[in-house]
Structure 1
Amino acid sequence: MRLQNLAVLAAFVSVSYAQNLTAFANALQSLGATTFGSIASNLSSTPQGQTAIQTLLSGGNFTIFAPSNDALAAVPESVTSNSSALLDVVLYHVLPGSFSSSNSSTPFLMSATFPNHTLGRTLLNSTESEGNVSQVLAWTKEGNTISFLNQPTNVSVVNSTRVEGAQIDIYLINGVLTSPPTLTALVSNSTNTTSLGGLLNNTFIAGSDGSNTTLGNYLSQGTITAFAPINAAFSAIQSSLSSLATNQSGLITVLQNHLINGTALYSTEIANNTSQTSAAGETLHFSTNSSGTFVTSGSASAKIIQTDLLTSNGVVHLIDNVLVNLESDPAAASSAFASATSAAATETRAGPIAASATGPNSGSSTTSGGGSNNAAGALIMNLHSCTFSVATVISFVLGAYMI
């Protein structure tokens, strides 16, 4: 971004902001990320863009993942010519707080070694969820390479610098980061969860107001954590599922015991011998040993085999077994959701996501929450008020969508 291009933007900011903006432009130029700088400058044409840039240059700590010029050249014109879409792209590349493990002018990105992850909340809020969820970004280190998770193509960090006079670290990356998809899109596009994808896409729920929607859309409202059984897990319990063929209430309870309602629980917040409350009001207990991390509901237990699959309204963890628990406690579910909603209202999203000592919806551990909405939360808790064909649900799980 050429310095003379900053004149328009500088009119909207104070002298100190303008100084930071000049240093910001110089830092991007030193990395060869001039296209990203030009995009940031062009955002000044909208009030939302002006607000975002002033927030970034306010003097607080920020971490920016700036795509290279080559990476941004591949962004379709439908995005680059749409100021709103372009702003969303930029906001998903900016995280409040510091993620650096170095105080030098060349910062080094903090990163857990694979299979562990580092996660942070970006400035982008979800447009899919009523909960206004702060979208999360995840990355890990394998060998000497720091790469991002949940991306359609491999994206990694290739260089870094610190903005002179400001608390901003910039990391040059070789791709453009894609924000999380919906829950339905995520499980439908994974070869491990085609059974669940078929269930979410083809089970239609009728609400008390006569409206009709898919189960996937239903579960995309409000913030949730989902423990999603893989295809083989469904196949292994055919007899148990068949016994539920005439029991809609039981099937719904089983589904709810795979969900945490009102909060997103990431891998960095799951500790040994801790617990959460499911959307059915039952305890989800976590334990870790040399074989891995397990989640237990009632007498059913499953190993978590893949973590931190990000969605637009929460997070999914894949498990190797179906948690067939027919018990529920609506009062406990309602209380846990209320606690999660209250905590989300005061959530601080700067810096890495990690377990805290106290908080909502938990036994001996907690999450930092993701934000939610009372009406959306009520939808999940009141799933029993909806109607659908249990036989159809089971046929999708055990039938054509099984691989």
Structure 2
Amino acid sequence: MPCLTSLTLLFTLAAGCIAQSINELLSGVPELSNFTSLALTDPGFIATLSGASNITILAPNNQALKAVPAYITDHADHVRALLDYHVLNGTYRSGDFGDEPKFWPTLLTHPHFVNLTVGEKQVVKAARMGDHGTVYSGLDRPAMVSRADMNFNGGLVHIIDSALVLPANVSTTAISSNLTAVAGALVTSNLAHTVNALSGITIFAPSNGAFQAIGNLVGRLSPEELASILNYHVVPVRAFTVDLTNNQKLETAQGGEITVRTSNGDVYVNGAKVITTNIITNNGVIHIIDGVLNPNATDDEPDTGASTQAPAFPSATGSSDVPFTSGVPTPTASGIATSSPTSGTGGQPNAAASITGSAVIAVIGAVLALAASMVV
């Protein structure tokens, strides 16, 4: 009987720890006092958490939230969007972070940051880096889990060392990712507004070096020809790398097909290699490739044994200049903006639209990259 009594007491105490409310948990963790204060500004958010089950909260520590600009915290809808993006729809423990990326749905629904097809959820990318789980948000910004698996009656809390960045549109994300040739080419071809407004897409975005490799050709292209080439890089479904398979055919916005191939862990699209993967945007995902795809060379195949791939355009020669970048801002070291955000399509910071109107305004739009894209 004493053993039974002891076990009963043990389970009662354990259940009591697990059954604490989210308010009790947050109030008992001093390094989350700033997050708690921010959350309390939105009673609806607290009510959502209190009534939720099977959720995971990614709670930025006090130092992380100090970097959030005032023009976010001064706007209730921006605060709510930021808070919602830090809540995962599902319970994900520290052991669920793995070497391969996973994509976990969030509660974010604000239309400025979620322009997806019906039924799709805005996500974060999760992976293990060394001994720590790491979460990647908009603009591929990482946040490391510093303290994991804190239980409350609705799920889990992980403390992270950076606030997540709300997903930005394609143009802003391209500039932040040093895809300045893509950003400029979208403006030159009059596609910036169209691509930023599409829902649920994948873009295989050529690097600046890829455009340099066909530098002798780009100046000869009409806006219509350039638009055809760019549309051949856009797939009208959201496809993360986990969705890509060997010899997969994908129809593009241009109308032609591209072929996905995999070899020794690498992914290729036609003859181009994917060199950076799974950059989350408000309307889908960007994968960076090392070559410009040619819609007239759909049978182009990669040389998987080569360190670099030959251009898909036979007459191409390289250029020392990166084309289409005149007036396009370059990524900043910090990405922290001190000015209030400008609006583009759907109220999203629209660097490409800004470039069209004024280079100065475009610089402001791009500088929003890190913190400002958390909001606008």
Q: Partner of 2:247 in structure 1?
A: 273
Q: Partner of 1:234 in structure 2?
A: 211
Q: Partner of 1:87 in structure 2?
A: 80
Identify which range, 33-42 or 221-230, moves more after superposition: 33-42
Structure 1: how far apart are the matches of 2:40 and 2:326? 51
Describe the SS at the equivalent of 2:96. coil
Tell me if the contact between 1:302 and 1:319 (Cα under 8 Å) persists in the aligned partners. Answer: yes
The structural deviation recorded for 1:43 is 0.8
Which aligned pairs between 1:107-256 and structure 2 lie closer than 5 A?
A: 108-113=94-99, 116-125=100-109, 126-127=111-112, 131=116, 134-149=121-136, 155-166=143-154, 168-191=155-178, 193-200=179-186, 202-203=187-188, 205=190, 215-223=191-199, 224-241=201-218, 245-246=221-222, 249-256=224-231
Structure 2: how far apart are the matches of 1:158 and 1:151? 21
Tell me if the contact between 1:196 and 1:397 (Cα under 8 Å) persists in the aligned partners. Answer: no
The structural deviation recorded for 1:306 is 0.4
Tell me if the contact between 1:250 and 1:326 (Cα under 8 Å) persists in the aligned partners. Answer: no
Structure 2: how far apart are the matches of 1:129 and 1:98? 22
Which aligned pairs between 1:342-381 and structure 2 lie closer than 5 A?
A: none
The structural deviation recorded for 1:316 is 0.6
Aligned residues: 284
Tell me if the contact between 1:121 and 1:137 (Cα under 8 Å) persists in the aligned partners. Answer: yes
Q: Which runs of 5+ in 2 are unaligned?
A: 1-17, 299-320, 331-376
RMSD value over aligned CA atoms? 3.1
Letter in 2 for 1:178: V
TM (norm. structure 1) is 0.62
Letter in 1 for 2:283: N
TM (norm. structure 2) is 0.66
Describe the SS at the equivalent of 1:220. helix
| Runs of 4+ deviating beyond 6 Å | none
1:290 has 2:264 as partner: yes
- 2:23 pairs with 13, 25, 34, which one? 25
Tell me if the contact between 1:253 and 1:326 (Cα under 8 Å) persists in the aligned partners. Answer: no
Tell me if the contact between 1:308 and 1:317 (Cα under 8 Å) persists in the aligned partners. Answer: yes
Tell me if the contact between 1:254 and 1:326 (Cα under 8 Å) persists in the aligned partners. Answer: no
The structural deviation recorded for 1:145 is 2.3
Q: Cα–Cα, structure 1 residues 92 and 129, in superposed 2: closer, same or farther, change >3 Å?
A: closer
The sequence identity of aligned pairs, in percent, is: 25
Tell me if the contact between 1:119 and 1:138 (Cα under 8 Å) persists in the aligned partners. Answer: yes
Q: Cα–Cα, structure 1 residues 320 and 95, in superposed 2: closer, same or farther, change >3 Å?
A: same
Q: Cα–Cα, structure 1 residues 234 and 110, in superposed 2: closer, same or farther, change >3 Å?
A: same
Structure 2: how far apart are the matches of 1:77 and 1:238? 43
The structural deviation recorded for 1:41 is 2.8
Describe the SS at the equivalent of 1:219. helix
Q: Which runs of 5+ in 1 are unaligned?
A: 1-19, 45-49, 101-107, 206-214, 329-394
Q: Cα–Cα, structure 1 residues 35 and 257, in superposed 2: closer, same or farther, change >3 Å?
A: same
Describe the SS at the equivalent of 1:155. strand
